[in-house]
Structure 1
Amino acid sequence: MNDDNQPPEGYFGCFGKNAAEALAILMPVVDIALKAHETGDYQAFRNVMTDSLAARITPDGFQNAYKAIAPELGPLICKRLLAAVNRAGNPRLLFVARYTNTSDDILINITFTNSADAPLINEMWIE
């Protein structure tokens, strides 16, 4: 993973007083979600998402998306944080990533909810 770049300052919500503190809490959750997406592990993804997101992403829907997208992308090679922005009071992390089966840059948007005791993902897009 490409973690050599300094993270940009931005909006990290309730997860830390600065970028380093917040990223130490949020990045392990990001890594779990991306690995679950890569391997088709719905339960691992469910463990890091809000109930609201789980209501929109069913196990069957997750598996259908996995079968359609994972082979096209392949395994994740690296990701780089571009920004942390405010999305309706919640921190949204924006990444650019590379996967083995595509030469295109892939954008990843992950929004965490500020209202959780532990960091939970409320929205996630890989495009």
Structure 2
Amino acid sequence: MNDDNQPPEDYFGCFGDNAAQALALLMPMVDIALKAHETGDYQAFRNVMTDSLAARITPEGFQNAYEAIAPQLGPLISKRLVAALNRAGSPRLLFVARYSNTSDDILINITFTNNADTPLINEMWIE
């Protein structure tokens, strides 16, 4: 049931007229961020994040998180997009992921800054 006062179930912000167009822009940024997280490459992550996020995630903080989390997870095996939500007017993509060193499903949520010329990540959580 869809209430006319509710936003659409899938939200991709300004990044396309439909999900396919938006995902063609957003997924490469997701892949760069996740690979950077997996390998501890702060500069690669910095290239796809907003200045606002960079102010909150220093190179040292990134390295500490990498050392604490990446070995426990291992390499990314797969990820599946489960939803695109409206987060304060920006698209938040939710994924269920599998990593080689855990049998648990891992939730990844990544929020992009809307109305940007290039998609940039403003929030990222791996839990």
CA distance in 2, matches of 1:73, 1:66: 10
TM-score (norm 1): 0.92
Matched residue, 1:3: none
Q: Deviations over 1:47-74 (max 9, x none)?
A: 0000000000000000000000000000
Structure 2: which amino acid aligns with 1:99? Y
Identity within the alignment, %: 87
Taking only aligned residues, the RMSD between alpha carbons, in angstroms, comes to 0.7
Q: How does 1:1-127 map to 2 (within 5 A)?
A: 10-127=10-127
TM-score (norm 2): 0.92
Matched residue, 1:5: none
Instruction: Choose 1 or 2 for highest CA Rg.
Output: 2
CA distance in 2, matches of 1:116, 1:34: 21
Structure 1: which amino acid aligns with 2:96? V
CA distance in 1, matches of 2:15, 2:62: 27
Q: Deviations over 1:27-66 (max 9, x none)?
A: 0000000000000000000000000000000000000000
CA distance in 1, matches of 2:38, 2:115: 27
CA distance in 2, matches of 1:52, 1:19: 26
CA distance in 2, matches of 1:100, 1:19: 29
- Cα drift, residue 115 of structure 1: 3.3
SS at match of 1:116: coil
SS at match of 2:14: helix
- Cα drift, residue 18 of structure 1: 0.3
Moved over 3 A (4+): none
Structure 1: which amino acid aligns with 2:46? R
